[in-house]
A and B are shown apart, each in its own frame.
Chain A
């Protein structure tokens, strides 16, 4: 079965500092990778996705993630964080395991990013 590992449960960082949230997944023939963000008492919002093509994907609010097939990783980065980035971040994978043709997501355990002034 597919598994997703987010290596850090909590990441504290100061405002304007860079941050990296790590995500590794178990190997599969082909995968679709997603990062979602969850603010308190809200649902998950799609941050960015890797489907195919360029291995570097970017979001509109300055986050980027790089798909690395050899290392089975999809780490999320931001060069300069803001207070408003404080939230929980989830890495998720859809891979069609078991012959499914739909996007059943397997999630990592989440990383709580706390940005301090």
Chain B
């Protein structure tokens, strides 16, 4: 079956532009996570969605970051007015709900801010 799909795989943009990253989770997985992987900070949690519940946005680094999940499936992570420190790999993961459920990761979007 299909795994977690992320697009684009690479994105290069100029400082100050807005970017939108997309994640298509595994069918049937109601839990969806976004993480950021950067050289200086390692892997950091950004945001969590579960079904129709309010998302946990506690990991978003600033108000330039936002995310939504439409219809309980596809999610988009939007970064407004990008800065050079936003350069990183953005990973999406999905799972069945619960603490003990292993997460399945996409291949990520490598974002480079010039």
Residues on A close to B: CB < 8 A? 32, 34, 36, 41-46, 49, 51, 90, 92, 94-96, 100-110
How far, in Å, is A101 (CB) from chain B's closest CB? Answer: 7
Q: Is the CB of A32 within 8 A of B100?
A: yes
Give CA–CA (A36, B95) in the complex, Å. 15
Asked, given contacts A42-B107, A43-B106, A46-B104, whether A110 binds B99 with beta carbons under 8 Å apart, the answer is: no
Q: Is the CB of A49 within 8 A of B102?
A: yes
Give CA–CA (A72, B14) in the complex, Å. 44
Judge whether B97 is part of the interface by a CB distance below 8 angstroms.
yes
Q: By DSSP majority rule, is chain B's interface helix, strand, loop, or mixed?
A: strand
A/B pair count, beta carbons within 8 Å: 66
Q: Is the CB of A43 within 8 A of B100?
A: no
Q: Which one, B40-48, B70-78, B79-87, is touching chain A?
A: B40-48
What chain B residues lie within 8 Å of A110 (beta carbons)? 42-43
